[in-house]
Structure 1
Amino acid sequence: MPMLSQQYLTATAVPDALQLLAEPGVLALVNFDHSCAPGVQPGIIPLGMPSLCDKPWEVIRYGNSVAERGEDEHCQWSLIEDVLCVATWIAPQDCSDIEAATEVAYGRLFRVIQSKGFPYPFRIWNFMPDINRGDGDREEYKKFCVGRERAFDDYHVAPQSYPAASALGHHTQGAVIYLLAGRNSGVHHENPRQQPAYQYPREYGPSSPSFARATSLALCSKPQVFISGTASIIGHNTQAVGDLQQQLAITLDNIQHLLSHVGQAEANLSGVRVYLRHPEDVAAAQAFLAPRLPLERINFIHADICRSQLLVEIEALASLAP
């Protein structure tokens, strides 16, 4: 059985999304476009943020079976073998209280994965509008973190069990949270170069961010590492404010240090998302990354990063070479 994979496709490579979704092994299609609303059917996940390099589709593949799909608790889910993908959206009007809406949305997700027998999320993505709006504790991202932590507390998820995650801002209405979950728990990892996010000092908000730097899981008996959104942060401090190239270099160093720490220094990276605050930075980012990573495995996405001083954030899926 093939490992889980994330592959980016151009619009011309996906003439019929529904037809692609029906193929064996296709767990979900993530759509990088301006819409952030439920997909036309379970398995299509619009994020509300555009690709900056004409790759509007990500195909998540796993196994060889045709996915089962359905809707429960205002969530859309897809299932192949021992991996469950679940997505839920927050309506634009509910984003006015992102703290409460996040707690409710996570509650829906947790009830679905538990009812399906997949109680262990190993990768979570969060995308919302106006992530940097507001001052101090009233910043949207900080309010989101409060709601997320309350949801984890509601379902008795301890900080050491927080999975890998990303949280970014988009420039449209509505929000989406989606996850991958398994029947068994993965192993959650921290980066020695960075303070665990859930232990950040009070200056970062009333609730620290609830995620691990990475989660590893043996799918098809082959280890894979799901790397959280990673940025130019050492300890808990932002580095190289205003310098894109330095932020890219520090971010890649952080990822490599993390992989070395978990014993996967030689792993191949795929499903790489490079979130850029400024669309005009895409050419510079491509030029910096091209000698270091295969560009066909990278999607460049226009997104706001959770800290206003950060220009870029990178996430990836790491797999051992066959």
Structure 2
Amino acid sequence: MSLDADLARWREHLTRFSALLGSPPDRRTPPRPEAAPGHCLIFAPHPDDECIVGALPLRLQQEAGWRVSNVAVTLGSDVDRRAARWAELQDACAVLGFDCIAVGANGLSDVRADTAEREPALWASHVDAIATLLARHRPALLLLPHELDDNPSHRGVYRLVVEAVAQARLDTVLAHTEFWSTMAAPNALVQTNIADTARLITALERHTGEIARNPYHLRLPAFLADAVRRGGELVLGAGEAPPDFAFATLYRLVPYRAGQPVADLPRSVWPADRALSSVLLMP
């Protein structure tokens, strides 16, 4: 099936789902690319994470002309599947218009929160590799799992990126993401309209080996819908009226200066009719 056919199929399904939720038709502010668009790096613990948490970078790319690159920190624990997972990742990123950056020949090994204590030399080499990558690209925005995302590799990538940002003394913004465990204090709720949600799911379908094991792409709409439910209270405030859209992703945005965190950015909701730009990353 062609990409256009896949997108059309998912748009039809999502339109019906959105109607059941009572959401109004999609609205979208015409994109206005920035004169000097930024660069976003997604630090993916596994191939497929770029699709699950990709709402913010996808919108920055489409609405402000940002470059988005997915950093394949690992290619999974199954050595025999790594070549296939890299190929699937490239297919998925092609759907989204993201670049792919490989770390080493087959990704990094043993990226866990306790690797530094168990294998200090290996961990130091991992931090050096990511710090070098950050110094080369100088990204304005990094996506990474939050500290307590309940998967060993997700927690490992959090620690790895934070230590590499400190080593590179980078000025940037970290966007914490969630999947295995929810965040306690998200401060940004980013809507995806039906077309963009369809694109994220279509990209996720390209990870064929993974969805054959677990068809989690079918559950992604519910995950994005639940972020609207939670975000209405956590970002807007307890007791506030929830947003009137169907699908969104939660993030916690934290500016870093010279490699160290400063105060979180103010809480904000970004519906599809409010064009995203670098203003999102300003205190």
Interval containing the TM-score (normalised by the shorter chain): 0.3 to 0.5
Greater fraction of residues in strand: 1
TM-score by length of 2: 0.32
TM-score by length of 1: 0.30
**Which protein, 1 or 2, shows the higher relative CO under an 8 Å CA cutoff with sep ≥ 6?**
2
Greater fraction of residues in helix: 2
